[in-house]
């Protein structure tokens, strides 16, 4: 697909991107999605960085997943859609795409990671009720699963770790009660995300 981007400097960037990305065939796409350079374009005139979001399909057959990635701007429209049964999962926004792919790459269960984010964000909301705070998966190791929270202070992330035994315990709860209030609140049709539990009433 070809698109034009109008740069504020007056320059017009013509870009071309794949609407269907197969991560098994294009490991370099996976790498660029994980490191945030996917669909990033510098204006050759003023060097401004453009990171447009368009709807794309991402398949990763070796991990048994297929996603439609919607632009963040389509979030409201997604919640207004009629009920549907899609043969793939939905992700909204490229940052969430990078987050989900990293979770899958590290062999973790996305629903459990979104549940852990909801624990962290509930705590953050008690301490900073007026801020819009996001939690992102960062990695995992012997000290636990690391998350970065942004929105508490400008240009800073807060590093939070959750011990692996909490992950295991939450996994146990999920296996016993996959449709309890917590896990149900993380899903809207094809879309799994802590954003579903946090969305304002206007999007319900
Ligand atoms: Zn420019």
Q: What is the pTM of this model?
A: 0.94
Query: What are the tens digits of pLDDT across the range 131-147?
Result: 999 999 999 988 999 99
Ligand 1 centroid to Cα of residue 49, in Å, is 8
Q: Which residues are within 5 Å of ligand 1 (an ion), measured at CB?
A: 7, 9, 11, 43, 45-46, 48
Give the number of other Cβ atoms within 10 Å of residue 16's Cβ.
7
Ligand 1 centroid to Cα of residue 8, in Å, is 6
Query: What are the tens digits of pLDDT across the range 7-50?
Result: 999 999 999 999 999 999 999 999 999 999 999 999 999 999 99
Mean pLDDT, to the nearest integer, of 150-171? 94
Residue 154's pLDDT is what? 86
Between CA 19 and CA 204 the distance in angstroms is 29
Ligand 1 centroid to Cα of residue 42, in Å, is 8
DSSP designation for 161: E
Which token pair is 99?
């987050």
Three-state DSSP at 9 gives: coil
Which token pair is 74?
């389509």
């Amino acid at each position: 697909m070809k698109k034009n981007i109008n740069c504020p400097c007056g320059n017009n960037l013509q870009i071309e991107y794949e609407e269907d990305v197969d991560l098994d065939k294009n490991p370099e796409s996976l790498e660029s999605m994980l490191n945030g350079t996917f669909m990033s374009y510098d204006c050759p005139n003023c060097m401004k960085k453009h990171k447009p979001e368009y709807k794309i399909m991402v398949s990763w057959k070796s991990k048994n997943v297929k996603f439609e990635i919607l632009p963040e701007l389509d979030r409201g429209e997604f919640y207004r859609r009629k009920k549907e049964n899609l043969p793939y999962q939905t992700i909204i926004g490229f940052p969430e795409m990078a987050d989900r792919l990293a979770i899958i790459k590290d062999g973790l269960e996305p629903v459990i990671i979104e549940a852990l984010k909801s624990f962290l964000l509930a705590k953050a909301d008690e301490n900073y009720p007026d801020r819009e705070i996001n939690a992102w998966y960062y990695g995992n190791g012997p000290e636990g699963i690391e998350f970065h929270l942004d929105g508490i202070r400008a240009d800073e992330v807060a590093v939070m770790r959750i011990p692996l035994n909490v992950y295991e315990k939450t996994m146990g709860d999920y296996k016993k009660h996959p449709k309890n209030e917590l896990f149900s609140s993380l899903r809207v049709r094809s879309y799994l995300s802590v954003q579903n539990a946090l969305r304002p009433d206007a999007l319900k």
